[in-house]
Each structure stands twice: as C-alpha cells, then as structure tokens.
C-alpha cells in the first residue's frame, strides 16, 4: 500500500504542475494497486476500511480525467468505485448477482481481471528491478488505456441486458 500512496502523491504533484496526463498515469497505477490489494482481503469490514483509507487515488484519477476532458473515464471511475461497494454488500448477503448472465461475459470478465492483476504485478516487479518509474508507468498505462477503450466500445455496443460491466473486477 505504501507504493500506492507514493504514486498518489506523485499524481498530486503532477496535477498541481498541470501535467494532467502524467497525473492520470500515476493515479491509474495507484488505483490498480489498491484494487488488487482489495480483492485479496476476505473481510468486508477490512475492504471497506481499505477503500475509505485509499480514496485519494480514485478522486485524483477522476480529477485528472476531467482536466483532460475525458468525462466518460471520470464517470467510469466513479461508478466503478460505487459498484465495488455495492458488490461487497451483495457478496456479504450471499446474493448471486451473476445468475442469468451470459457465460461468455463471465469468462471474459475473469480473463480481464487476471490480465489486470498480471499487469499490476508486472509493474511492481519492474519497479523492484532496474527499470525506471517512467518505464514501468509506460508499460501499465499503455495496457490500461487499451483496456479502457476496448471496454467502453464493448459496453456501448452491447444490448442493455447483456452489457459488459465497466470494471472487470466483479468476479471476486
């Protein structure tokens, strides 16, 4: 979590300097780390505490997206955070929210989550090795932007009853 906090602070500095694309990159990476850690916490209370404590990267990403004029991405980030809280409550209540969902969508969702987790781990390894912060950021940012664009297209083109969620981390 310290790494996510460091990235968030770097994002805040970049934002304050008017470097919105750089800030977006830092915040995106911080959010990926928080979400990766969050998915590994079994207790709903502990997950809620983590999200409450780590809200800054989400807020920063929304601010950066808005500064870049990307309202859909800002809205997506906001809704993703709200959806995660709702899903935690439903999971605790043992509600089966996937009942009746197309199996191909569920398979794709799991695949995307695995890809995101792998990218976050790759970035952490790169930063732990000889790669610079910029190289690690570039690797994850390229992948994240591509995923976001593909997801938006899929979501917009899918029929309402089968629309793919904006966030692939719903399978946990």
CA atoms within 13 A on the CB side of 28: 27
pLDDT in tens, 118-142: 777 777 777 666 556 566 566 666 6
Residue ranges of the domains in the chain?
A: 2-167
In percent, the amount of the chain with pLDDT more than 90 equals 23
**What local confidence, expressed as pLDDT, does residue 36 receive?**
79
Please report where in the chains the tokens 């929210």 appear, as a residue: 97
Length of the chain equals 172
pLDDT in tens, 81-131: 777 777 767 766 665 666 777 888 888 888 888 887 777 777 777 766 655
Cα distances (Å, whole numbers) of residue 85 to 2, 57, 79, 126, 151: 23, 16, 10, 31, 21
**Closest to 2 measured CA to CA, from 43, 65, 44, 57:** 57
Q: Give 108-153 as a DSSP string.
A: HHHHHHHHHHHHHHHHHHHHHTT--HHHHHHHHHHHHHHHHHHHHH
**Closest to 148 measured CA to CA, from 97, 47, 75, 86:** 75
For residue 52, is pLDDT > 80? no
pLDDT bucket at 37, cuts 50 / 70 / 90? confident
Name every residue whose Cβ is closer than 8 Å to that of residue 98 and which is 6 or more positions away in sequence.
Answer: 106
């Amino acid at each position: 979590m310290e790494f996510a906090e460091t990235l968030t602070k770097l994002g805040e500095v970049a934002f304050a300097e008017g470097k919105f694309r750089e800030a977006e990159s830092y915040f995106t990476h911080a959010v990926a780390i928080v979400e990766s850690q969050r998915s590994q916490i079994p207790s709903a209370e502990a997950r809620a505490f983590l999200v409450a404590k780590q809200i800054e990267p989400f807020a920063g990403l929304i601010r950066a997206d808005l500064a870049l004029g990307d309202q859909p991405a800002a809205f997506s980030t906001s809704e993703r955070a709200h959806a995660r809280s709702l899903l935690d409550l439903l999971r605790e209540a043992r509600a089966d929210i996937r009942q009746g969902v197309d199996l191909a969508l569920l398979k794709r969702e799991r695949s995307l989550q695995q890809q995101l987790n792998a990218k976050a781990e790759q970035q952490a390894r790169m930063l732990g090795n000889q790669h610079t912060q910029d190289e690690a950021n570039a690797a994850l940012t390229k992948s994240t932007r591509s995923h976001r664009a593909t997801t938006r297209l899929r979501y917009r083109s899918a029929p309402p009853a089968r629309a793919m969620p904006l966030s692939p981390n719903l399978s946990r």
